[in-house]
Copies of this chain bind each other. A is one copy, B any other.
Amino acid sequence: MTEQPVIDAPAPGRRDPEGRKRAIIAAAAELIIEGGTASLTHRRVAARAGVSLGSTTQYFASLDELRESALEQLVAETDAALDLLAEITSADDFTVADLAPFVRSWLVDPRQVQADLILVSAGASDPTRRALARRWFDRAVAILSERLPPDRARAVAIYVDGAMIHAGLHDEPLDLDVIVGDLEALAHPARPRSTEPAPQHQNGPRS
């Protein structure tokens, strides 16, 4: 009942330092996604990874170091997703609308969303981990900047981060059309930069 599926681990007792370490990090990353960085304990990791308690202390000087490795693993996963983004933007006939399906595939993946929010939370509350959390944002801006003005690239990245929050709090994902429309609006603004009064909708003044 309280048993959780074992992640990966080599057979018990069998020697396999690298495999074991990998299994421990994978289990830790999983637990962090499920319960946040603070929910990590040596014993839970051991149970999930299918290794002994001692093994979880052998490869890492402290629990904090294990946590750090697990977070780096999560960053590596999102890095892989960004490689796909780079592929998309490098297409000859690329348009901003092409980003939408990619963004949406990200938003509908609870694991990805959770990982991102946890990294943000970790980075915001602990300056030590800020660089880790910022990697997604910085790389995304860098990639998008090859096709958009840097400030437009940043605006798009900010919007996507906001959409990540939306995804984390809502069951209904954003429609693809909506994402396309918003990304295009940010990437190709009507008046590229002004503060003059703008025409606006008027949905009826409050009573």
Question: A residues near B, CB below 8 A?
Answer: 34-36, 38-39, 90, 92, 94-97, 113-114, 117-118, 120-121, 123-125, 130, 133-134, 137, 145-149, 151-152, 154-155, 157-166, 168-170, 177-178, 180-182, 184-195, 197-206
Query: Across the interface, do B203 and A198 meet the contact criterion of CB distance under 8 Å?
Result: no
In the complex, chain B residues whose CB is within 8 Å of the CB of A193:
177, 181
Q: How far is the CB of A32 from chain B (nearest CB, A)?
A: 10
Task: List 20 additional A-B contacts (Cβ < 8 Å) besides A184-B198, A188-B200, A190-B190.
Answer: A36-B125, A92-B205, A97-B195, A117-B120, A117-B121, A117-B125, A120-B121, A120-B165, A120-B169, A121-B121, A124-B169, A146-B203, A149-B201, A155-B182, A160-B162, A161-B161, A162-B162, A162-B165, A184-B194, A188-B199
Q: How far is the CB of A105 from chain B (nearest CB, A)?
A: 17
Bound together, the chains give a CA A123 to CA B188 distance in angstroms of 33
Contact of A124 with B117 at beta-carbon distance under 8 Å, contacts A147-B203, A148-B201, A161-B161 already known: yes
Copies of this protein, total: 2
Bound together, the chains give a CA A113 to CA B120 distance in angstroms of 12
What DSSP secondary structure best describes chain A's contact surface?
A: helix
Contact of A185 among B160, B162, B164, B185 (CB under 8 A): B185
